A and B are shown apart, each in its own frame.
Chain A
Amino acid sequence: MSASKPHILVVDDEPNVLVTYRLILQQQGYEVSAAISSEEARNCLQKGGVDLLLCDLSLEKQQSGFDVIHFGRSLEPKLQAVLLTGYASAEANDRAEHESIPVLFKPIDIQQLLQTIADLLRKNNESRQAHGT
């Protein structure tokens, strides 16, 4: 895990969306991993070193973003995650709020996305520093 570059895992079942997010985040200077399915995402998470998880809510085959986030948090409880969705039911919304997962609705305003990512990573950093010292 490189100390200079935060590692972000992007999960989306739409290849083009996945690619463009990866490119944007790389352009912003993050280290980006991309997963097209929940399975890939789990593999990636198991490798460890993921600072932030960007996950689409609806994934393939009844898998939801919550499952991926839960999996990630089961490995690393303090894992920061953002839920991306084109459509969120009120239940999903409430659940995300309950689990303190920010939700961004597609079409996503990129500036807002970048801002949210920056905020979460800074929070991550701060807690880690507090924890470390």
Chain B
Amino acid sequence: MASPQMRMRSEAQQPAERERKAGLRLLGAERSEEIFPLLLEEIISLGHRAGFVARVDFETSAITPVASLNCTRGFLQKQHTTLFAMENPMVRILHTLKPEVIPDKPKPGANSLYVHPLVYRNRNNCWEAERANASTCLAVANFHCKQRLNLPDQICATCDMRAYAAVVCVELKPAAKASDISQLGALIELANRYLSRIFKVEHYYNRMTDMETTIGQMRTVLESMADPVILTDGQHRVITQNKAAERFFKLPDEVSEGRVRAVELNNLLFSAALSSMAVAGVDSSRDMTLVDAIEGEEVLFEAVSAPSFGADGRRTGMVTVMRDVTELRRADEELRQNYELLTAAEEVVRQDRDRLNLIIENVGDPIVVCDKDAKIVLVDPLAQELFGEERSERRAVHMRNQAKLDAYIAAFTYSFSDRESAPLHLFSPGTEAEVEYDARSGKIYDERGMVAYTVTVLRDLSAVRRLEQLKMERRMLEMEKFAVAGRMAGTIAHEVNNPMEAIKNCIFLLQDSIQEQAQPVYQILKTETERVARIVRQMLGLYRNTEQVGNVDINTVVEDTLMLFARQLDRSGVRVEKELDDLPPVVGSADQIRQILSNLVVNAKDSMAQGGRLRIRTRIAKSGLRDMIAITIGDSGCGIPPSMVNTMFEPFVTTKGERGTGLGLWIVKGIIENHGGKLKVRSKVDHGTVFRMEFPLVQ
């Protein structure tokens, strides 16, 4: 744009016009690379001979010519240098940022070289620094830089732009004046200003391209994620979402009503979840069930949301990543169920074990478990008392017990029997007294049928032995009592006998001289006296027979007794059946056994007033471990009434009224017990009674 004053000064007008044209040409450059060739053209058009531009590569610190005009290849080759070659005037000038003409005093005929450094610089802040209110802008810093340029720091702290640095070298036209040089300098500075602008634009373009690349990459990442990812703004509106998210939150092209509803429902759920999570402010997660709009299935998601922030630190929205946890939850559930099953099974096992422990504890007997080599693997506390503990100090008594137990268990383990029961004499750790144990053992086999373990329970027999002793003592006492009673009965009977004899004789003598009216009284006198006589006879019999012990043949005694009563039995209509096995002798008194049999045969006969059957059987029988001789006397008589079962063996208890003494069974029982035997009765009213006697055999 020309002003009237400029036109009038035609002398000065021409250079100004030229400058303006040069400026416009430079302004027309679109790209930074275009600036240097244009600049060199303008420089040559000013009449200078040649020129080149060398640019600094900050990566390698190399300084390389990038554009030249009228320069020979050889000359340019020589201009390659580095930032560190300070002896090179071009490098030195680049560091000082002051344009110079070299050499200072040109020799005649030689051409002077004008060197002008170019860096990214400007009088004012760039717009970005202006807008961000940044205090530093590399352009301004470089502009004001009077000192040496710190070339490696050419990166702007505000806009992150890497600046450029270059030198323009011009071979001046001969006899160049100072005005020529300043004109040249102004042109280069103008070019630099345009360059810095283009450079800046190119920087933004590069940044934008980078960003697009990054965005594209992010997009790819986002889309390649199988989990739905959603970016929302401050109002929970969806800004962007990946395909996985669209499946749930975006209406598909072909809409069906069901899908619309599913998507609406999902959106509703999602925005409710977001609202609640947004309150938390930091990362938060929650489970939510969404409906797959395509498949129509319910999918359980775990949504993790994190707030997103802008460059200024303000919250801009939220990023939500949702993870399909349907399978996970199902696996969780399965795991939980398995765990519960396992816990239950474990509980059963534990209960079993507790129960077993309880049983073992409550057996109250020492228990020892050994392995196949007869080594102890388990003992209960009671057994521990007997055999000592492995760790603690063991006393001699423990060792002795252990030795005895080892011998027994080893014998059992290697024997062929499954179970074993044997007496084991151990020593009480407390009193060191010998204690008799009943050791009972069993074997536990493994699946191959080999002995895996043996279990031994030790039963303390001292209590049993004590009880047996007590029983024995009581029996002895009973026998003694019976003997005393017998002796006493005998003595009394003996004393009564003689007066009785006299009374009886008197009654006999009087029988013919009793008057008619006195006869009933006389009869009473007679029967009662006879009764007393019978009692005395019984008592005497008992006394009379307490001696004479020897080997007795039971069958002979039975035959004798039956012979003795044969007539009476026959008269009463009683049929006798004998079944007498061959018997070894018993130790006892034949007289007493005869008395027993007599008493029982008489009782049987008396019970069968209308006749009947009397069975006598003798044989060898087993009672526990010992052989016994058993005699059974059975009748088909009236039986014993239940009310008498408990008292029938007591003295003076009778069913025969005045005919009986009530001593018979008492004597029978006493005699049998004196012989170490047993008496059993089985009776049923109106069917009969069976007495069974057992006598121990003579070994």
Contacts and interface: CB of A to CB of B under 8 A. Distances in A.
Interface of A: 14, 16-17, 19-21, 23-24, 27, 86-90, 105-108, 110
A5 B501 CA distance: 25
Interface string B532-549: 010011001001100110
A20 B540 CA distance: 22
Given A107-B500, A107-B501, A27 B543 contact: no
Contacts of B494: 86-87
B597 to A, nearest CB: 18
Given A90-B547, A90-B548, A90-B591, A16 B504 contact: no
Contact of B498 (A17, A24, A27, A110): A17
Nearest to B505: A20
A16 B591 CA distance: 32
Nearest to B541: A105
A14 B494 CA distance: 13
B540 to A, nearest CB: 6
Instruction: Pick the most buried of A24, A106, A107: most chain B CB atoms within 10 A of its CB.
Output: A107
A24 B508 contact: yes
A86 B591 CA distance: 17
A90 B550 CA distance: 13
Interface residues of B, number: 23
Contact of A107 (B504, B509, B548): B504
Nearest to A107: B533
A35 B501 CA distance: 17
B654 interface: no
B497 A86 contact: yes
A50 B500 CA distance: 28
B591 A23 contact: no
Contact of A106 (B497, B506, B547, B548): B497
A106 B501 contact: yes
A17 B502 contact: yes
Contacts of A16: 498-499, 502
Given A24-B508, A24-B509, A87-B494, A107 B536 contact: yes
28 contacts: A17-B498, A17-B501, A17-B502, A19-B502, A20-B501, A20-B502, A20-B506, A20-B508, A21-B505, A24-B509, A27-B509, A86-B501, A87-B490, A87-B540, A87-B543, A89-B544, A89-B547, A90-B547, A90-B591, A105-B537, A105-B540, A106-B500, A107-B497, A107-B501, A107-B536, A107-B537, A108-B504, A110-B505
B544 A88 contact: yes
B593 to A, nearest CB: 14
Nearest to B509: A23
A132 to B, nearest CB: 35
B508 A110 contact: yes
Nearest to B500: A107
Contacts of B504: 107-108, 110
Contacts, number: 60
Interface in B483-506: 490, 493-494, 497-502, 504-506
Given A16-B498, A27-B509, 18 more contacts: A14-B501, A14-B502, A17-B498, A20-B502, A20-B505, A20-B506, A20-B508, A86-B493, A86-B494, A87-B540, A87-B543, A90-B591, A106-B498, A106-B500, A106-B501, A107-B533, A108-B501, A110-B505
A105 B501 CA distance: 11
Contacts of B508: 20, 24, 110
B610 to A, nearest CB: 27
Nearest to B490: A87
A7 to B, nearest CB: 20
Contacts of B501: 14, 17, 20, 86, 106-108
Contacts of A20: 501-502, 505-506, 508-509
A19 B509 CA distance: 11
Closest 10 CB pairs of A and B: A20-B505, A16-B502, A107-B533, A86-B497, A14-B498, A90-B548, A17-B501, A110-B508, A17-B502, A106-B497
A20 B502 CA distance: 6
Contacts of B548: 90
A92 to B, nearest CB: 10
A39 to B, nearest CB: 20
B544 A23 contact: no
A87 B495 CA distance: 11
A44 to B, nearest CB: 21
Contacts of A110: 504-505, 508
Interface string B508-544: 1100000000000000000000000100110010011
A20 B510 CA distance: 11
B498 A86 contact: yes
B659 to A, nearest CB: 16
Contacts of A87: 490, 494, 497, 540, 543-544
B644 to A, nearest CB: 29
A14 B500 CA distance: 11
Contacts of B502: 14, 16-17, 19-20
A107 B548 CA distance: 23
A11 to B, nearest CB: 14
Contacts of A27: 509
A27 B512 CA distance: 11
Contacts of A14: 498, 501-502
B589 to A, nearest CB: 9
A21 B502 CA distance: 8
Contact of A86 (B505, B540, B547): B540
Contacts of B544: 87-89
Nearest to A86: B497
A28 to B, nearest CB: 10
B306 to A, nearest CB: 122
B527 to A, nearest CB: 14
Nearest to A15: B502
Nearest to A26: B509
A79 to B, nearest CB: 24
B501, B547, B548 — most chain A CB neighbours (10 Å)? B501
Contacts of A17: 498, 501-502, 505
A103 to B, nearest CB: 12
A27 B510 CA distance: 11
B503 to A, nearest CB: 9
Nearest to A109: B533
A20 B547 CA distance: 33
Contacts of B509: 20, 23-24, 27
Contacts of A106: 497-498, 500-501
A110 B503 CA distance: 12
A17 B504 CA distance: 9
A111 B537 CA distance: 17
A88 to B, nearest CB: 7
A72 to B, nearest CB: 22
Interface in B285-308: none
B434 to A, nearest CB: 45
Nearest to B537: A107
Counting chain A CB atoms within 10 Å of each CB, the highest count among B500, B536, B540, B543 belongs to B540
Contacts of B506: 20
B490 to A, nearest CB: 7
A19 B591 CA distance: 33
Nearest to A114: B508
A27 B504 CA distance: 15
B408 to A, nearest CB: 52
Interface in B471-490: 490
Contacts of B500: 106-107
Nearest to A110: B508
Interface in B83-126: none
